[in-house]
A and B are shown apart, each in its own frame.
Chain A
Amino acid sequence: MNRQAAFWIIALLALVALPFVHRDPYHLHVLVLILIWSFAYTSWSIMGRFGLVSLGHGGFMGIGAYVTALLWNHLGVSPWIGIPLSMATAGVLALVVAYPCFRFRITGHYFVLVTLALSGIVLQVITATRDYTGGSLGYTPQRAPSGKWLFALQFDDKITWYLIALAVWVAGLVIWRAIDRSMIRHAMEAISEDEDAAAAAGVNVTAEKLKITLISALMTALAGALYCQYQMFISPDTVSGIAVSLQMVFAAIVGGVYVALGPTVGAVITIVLAEVLRISFGTKAVGWDNLVYGVLLVLFIIFLPKGILGSVIDRIKSPRKPSRGHEQQTVPIARR
């Protein structure tokens, strides 16, 4: 146990030290993207692992990004206040949509479709309010007046961003671990197994589901806000909508949805893949990355529903067991 803790501390220190040793700005840029998206994918998996498959997270991410940027540009509200406000907005929206869903036992297909519509609607709103948001052309937060970079949460320095993203990513894993060790996990597992039985055993099904959804939505909005502050440019397609939601599902499934580092592995794979395609095909790559994602997503669901990391860990833990039929039955993401 101690040895394990030591390993993680050393790994973390190595990650903190990395930008001071290796200063290649492009590599750092890719790493920051990986960390921010890893955090977003982890946020999705926090509820996805319990069979609460949401395709509305593109909406939460878009709210995080746009509310923060709009408050800064139009009202001069510092992102230090804007980010919590954007998270609160996403949280309220999550509760408004999720409460009736959970209260009236809307599960499975229905839940997916409702959340899918949610992310579609957020995209529509961003496009419709083009006078404020720039519509589908995208939106740029205004540059901070000189000397107010901390107030505006804008840093030119890649190392600073790397450290911020790293801290947030670690925080995401800590939240994952906290949930993993809490009563919520047991309650949620019972619920995903059999909702009626869980309710009969005294689990407040609606409340537990709402808690986990709220945590997940808040984290996703934070990821969106960070992405906006880092990239200094957002467009409806990159931070909201169904495609972004599906991208989260894809990364989580490719990496493995019930291992803490699974979504991170998914982020590494998807972003490296996108970058490789971008570099080798240039502007012709538009569309190709999603085409590859789509094909891989289908292939993974058919042949490796536990994801890469999940399957590898399974193989290590019980090298003899894995038979495909059995695996598929025990995938929680996949439970009805």
Chain B
Amino acid sequence: MQSFLNIFDIYLLEAVINGILLGGVLALLALGLNLIFGVIDVTWICYAELVMIGMYGMYYLVQVFHLPYWAAAPLVILLVALLGAALHFLVIAPLLTAPPINQLLATGGVLFILQSFATVAFGIDFRNLGIRLPVLALGEMNFSYARLLSFGAALVGMVGVYLFLTRTFTGTAIRAIAQDRQIMPLMGVDPKRIYLVTSAIGGGLAGLAACLLVLQYDVHPFVGLSFGPITFLICVLGGLGNFIGGFIAAFVFAEIISLGGLFSDLEWGYVLAFAFFIIMMFIRPAGLLARRS
């Protein structure tokens, strides 16, 4: 009995820590979506599909062009950043004066485009980098280096965005535009340029997430569906546009998924997270309504 409890505790602790590690990447994704929503007032529901494209980018650069991982990653971040800017320029910019729901649905069209583009161009086979990072054994607990690296890189990415937003003129303008759009020209700020920069940063964060997720998961055209919905729940629970709320919610959800996965499949972790979300809406609507649209 005693030994059973010991093992159980260790699994539990392992799951808790793995949850924290997963939370880092989810927080990165939530940050990207919140940034775009906060500044441009639009939700990219194809956000996870940008990540999917980035994961394919990594696969091709590493597996087909034999670039080392560390050289491929910046290229992919840049690629997805450009993709984000293009998405804004081609789809959102023409709809800036249209009702927000139309903008959101248009990004739904982009979701279709990216998914089917991946199907057509890359096929539906599961692919991976073929990189197997070693496992760190800590006592009786095992943690994969892939997860530790992801967590670390996600934190570095978020700190980088934080520094950019607080230290630079453009970053300050990005925070300012979310508070008062109309007077931005009085500051000499061209909102169009800020939107484009923000979209590129949002894309870049998706690219970074892609570089990290591809270490742990196989890539296929529909891989976005396995973490897209959870990212949206995180953003809604944390309050769209609320960076800190999104950060906290990311870790809460990651724990639920990780602990839920301890008892059953990972999918059930997602179901548990959704049930938790619905319950939270009943008991803490104020948290949700912090910034309604």
Contact = CB atoms under 8 A, between A and B. Distances in A.
A109 B99 contact: no
B141 interface: no
Contacts, number: 191
B267 A128 contact: yes
A187 interface: no
A55 B270 contact: no
B278 to A, nearest CB: 6
Contact of B281 (A104, A116, A301): A104
A106 B292 contact: yes
A302 B68 CA distance: 41
Given A121-B271, A249-B108, A298 B45 contact: no
Given A243-B112, A246-B112, A109 B100 contact: yes
A336 B43 contact: no
Interface stretch (B115-123, B186-194, B198-206, B209-217): B115-123
A112 interface: yes
A70 B111 CA distance: 31
Secondary structure class of chain B's binding surface, majority of residues: helix
Interface string A19-40: 0000000000000000000000
Nearest to A108: B293
B285 to A, nearest CB: 4
Interface string A286-307: 1111110111111001100100
Interface string A120-133: 11011101100000
A123 B225 contact: yes
Interface residues of A, number: 60
A41 to B, nearest CB: 14
B172 interface: no
A291 B101 contact: no
Contact of A128 (B94, B235, B271): B271
A50 to B, nearest CB: 12
B91 A298 contact: yes
B98 interface: yes
List the 9 shortest-distance A-B pairs measured between CB atoms, nearest first. Answer: A120-B229, A294-B112, A287-B119, A297-B109, A128-B267, A294-B113, A334-B99, A290-B116, A104-B285
